[in-house]
A = this chain, B = another copy of it.
Amino acid sequence: MRLAELSERSGISTATVKYYLREGLLPPGRRVSATQAEYDESHLRRLRLIRALVQVGRLPVATVRDVLKNVDDTSLSQHSRIGSAVWALPHDSEPAEGDAETAEAERTSQALLTELGWGFSQSAGAESPAYRTLVGAISALRRLGYPCGTENLLPYARAAAQVAQSDLELVASYDDAEEQIEAAVACTVLYEPVLLSLRRLAEAEESDRRFGVGS
């Protein structure tokens, strides 16, 4: 298809598609003449992923470029491509280096991963941005005096494990390796607001049950 059709089918203006091409987010089409190029379904899919990252995930273009570089790195195994693309997504605050609270939060995180038997995360350790975010979040809870022992964290981890199973089932439902990686990245980003808003709704239900008029 030509640029105009790519724009129409993706719902993204031709000016923006050209911008993504210039910035290297979208691979160039196949040249058919000096002024025209031909695009295919892979371009359409890539635009869908870019929209998820830019519009829903609100990622800066430079970060999207890093994520896509990992998506496209065919020298890696399927697992590593998914992992490194998700690692390049922005994460929440990092822990402060080297203070006592962080060291204690690190011990809690290690104990939690052992209890869960999450060996992959344990061997990746501090290299994983999600692990560093977890340590940072636990040290914030500690500093503010809120409960954050492994017994408090386990229910969250078990819920996360259930969600991750659904996530990867969705990923595995795509036949093509490229599509699987794109779906893994998009769903990590797109399902975050789903999960957080459902948690708030569920909290309201639970609060109503415990403290509501009818309780």
Chain A residues within 8 Å of B, Cβ to Cβ: 11, 48, 51-52, 55-56, 77-79, 82-83, 86, 91-93, 113, 118-121, 124, 128, 130-131, 133-134, 136-138, 140-141, 143-147, 152-153, 155-168, 170-172, 183-184, 186-188, 190-208, 210-213, 215
Q: Which residues of B contact A166 (CB under 8 A)?
A: 152, 155-156
Decide: B193 and A160 in contact? CB cutoff 8 A. Answer: no
Nearest B residue to A117 via CB reads B205
Closest beta carbon of chain B to A36's beta carbon, Å: 27
Residues of B within 8 A of A197 (CB): 91-92, 130-131, 133-134, 137
Interface of A, secondary structure class, is helix
Q: Is the CB of A202 within 8 A of B164?
A: yes
A-B pairs with beta carbons under 8 Å apart, 11 shown: A118-B205, A119-B205, A124-B204, A128-B201, A130-B198, A130-B204, A131-B197, A134-B193, A184-B207, A195-B196, A195-B199
Asked if B118 and A164 sit within 8 Å, CB to CB, the answer is no
B192 A196 Cβ-Cβ under 8 A: yes
Q: Is the CB of A194 within 8 A of B137?
A: yes
Q: How far is the CA of A87 from the CA of B183 in the complex (A)?
A: 31
